[in-house]
């Protein structure tokens, strides 16, 4: 199996922080800076096939909250699909509530759960179900003078509190540790509102979710593809940020892209989680593919030319996909939002992907990802049940 990854650059932080903290996020972005070619945008000619409506590009800053940014962007597009006026939702409201629940799980598991900023799409749906939702304008999480998220200090303090709790110095846990832990989170992010005004009406987070956002979290499922589990059944996706131990449905590799294609063609967007710390992923140029040739075997000229126009790709198989997951060359390091399909000048299809790293790349926050990249490097996707092709849905008993 070819290894195009740059994981040695980010793995030290990954092991300590579950590839989820602000430190790891910064390392990931910085490690991708050299993945760029000088004339990429001029060398690609993309023509949109389907470009579904979505809300503005956001910037998660120095925080490992891509899962919350992408899943909330997904919910916003669901509002559009349902004929509603979309609301820019507070990503940090979802994250803050997930951190509270993660802390409880950490103590329950005697410290045997990953901490840090990271999470999964189901965390957003689970927090929506339990806590509701609020607009971005009501809860920004910017509580100490910054204009972007900066979570490293907060993460360290949170971990310190929980480490002290798990040590159990009293010999028996007090009922106050949760208050102390939550107070740390609120000191950095701000206290969540119990009620607020929106367009002249007063809401609680729960009533806002029900009356304004209006999605049903039970309508959404997560799907992955791994050979080691029976197809068309559910399994626990064993990645560090699945602290809730939620389960996903298992399909064949080619069915991942079949589901995404069907979803987009029916007007549904898709939340995507996977591995972007690859030599074939260029954030600067906004292109992601799986090079046919091992990066280590390329000439300097070939490396410099990687993103200057379409290139042939390696043939992806289920065996390669499973092996990459098993040997850590595919890790769960980022979440984004698939909002459409485009074609290059040769007629090859790419997914249009919305990121949460601001407007700093060639396509102002979007990128084009090949289907082979998705087949190889996806850890899981989240879709509405109605977006799944009927034959696959029947196999999944949905």
Question: What pLDDT is attached to residue 33?
Answer: 85
Q: What is the pLDDT of residues 248-265, one digit of tens each?
A: 999 999 999 999 999 999
Overall residue count recorded for the chain in this entry: 398
Question: What pLDDT is attached to residue 8?
Answer: 41
Residues of the chain scoring pLDDT < 50: 1-20
Q: What is the pLDDT of residues 340-367, one digit of tens each?
A: 999 999 999 999 999 999 999 999 999 9
Question: What pLDDT is attached to residue 91?
Answer: 98
Question: What pLDDT is attached to residue 27?
Answer: 81
């Amino acid at each position: 199996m070819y290894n195009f990854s740059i994981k040695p650059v980010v793995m030290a932080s990954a092991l300590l922080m579950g590839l989820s903290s602000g430190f790891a996020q910064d390392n990931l972005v910085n490690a991708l800076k050299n993945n760029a070619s000088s004339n990429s945008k001029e060398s690609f000619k993309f023509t949109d096939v389907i470009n579904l409506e979505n809300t503005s590009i956001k910037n998660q800053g120095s925080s490992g909250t891509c899962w919350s940014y992408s899943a909330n962007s997904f919910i916003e597009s669901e509002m559009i699909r349902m004929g509603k006026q979309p609301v820019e939702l507070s990503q940090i409201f979802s994250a803050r509530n997930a951190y509270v629940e993660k802390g409880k799980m950490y103590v329950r598991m005697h410290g045997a759960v990953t901490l840090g900023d990271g999470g999964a799409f189901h965390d957003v749906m689970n927090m929506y179900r339990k806590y509701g939702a609020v607009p971005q304008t009501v809860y920004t999480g910017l509580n100490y003078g910054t204009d972007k998220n900066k979570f490293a200090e907060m993460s360290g303090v949170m971990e310190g509190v929980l480490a002290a709790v798990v040590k159990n110095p009293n010999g028996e846990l007090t009922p106050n540790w949760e208050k102390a832990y939550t107070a740390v989170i609120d000191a950095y992010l701000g206290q969540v509102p119990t009620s607020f005004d929106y367009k002249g009406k007063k809401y609680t987070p729960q009533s806002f979710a029900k009356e304004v956002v209006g999605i049903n979290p039970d309508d959404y499922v997560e799907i992955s593809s791994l050979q080691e589990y029976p197809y068309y059944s559910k399994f626990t996706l064993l990645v560090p940020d699945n602290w809730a131990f939620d389960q996903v449905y298992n399909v064949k590799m080619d069915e991942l892209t079949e589901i995404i294609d069907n979803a987009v063609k029916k007007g549904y967007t898709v939340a995507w989680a996977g591995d972007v710390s690859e030599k074939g992923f260029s954030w600067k140029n906004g292109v992601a593919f799986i090079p046919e040739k091992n990066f280590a075997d390329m000439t300097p000229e070939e490396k410099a030319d990687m993103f200057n126009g379409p290139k042939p790709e390696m043939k992806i198989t289920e065996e390669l996909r499973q092996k990459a997951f098993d040997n850590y060359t595919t890790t769960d390091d980022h979440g984004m939002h698939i909002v459409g399909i485009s074609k290059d000048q040769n007629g090859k299809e790419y997914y249009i992907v919305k990121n949460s790293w601001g407007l700093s790349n060639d396509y102002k926050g979007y990128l084009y990802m090949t289907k082979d990249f998705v087949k190889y490097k996806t850890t899981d996707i989240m879709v509405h049940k109605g977006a799944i092709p009927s034959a696959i849905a029947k196999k999944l008993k949905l």
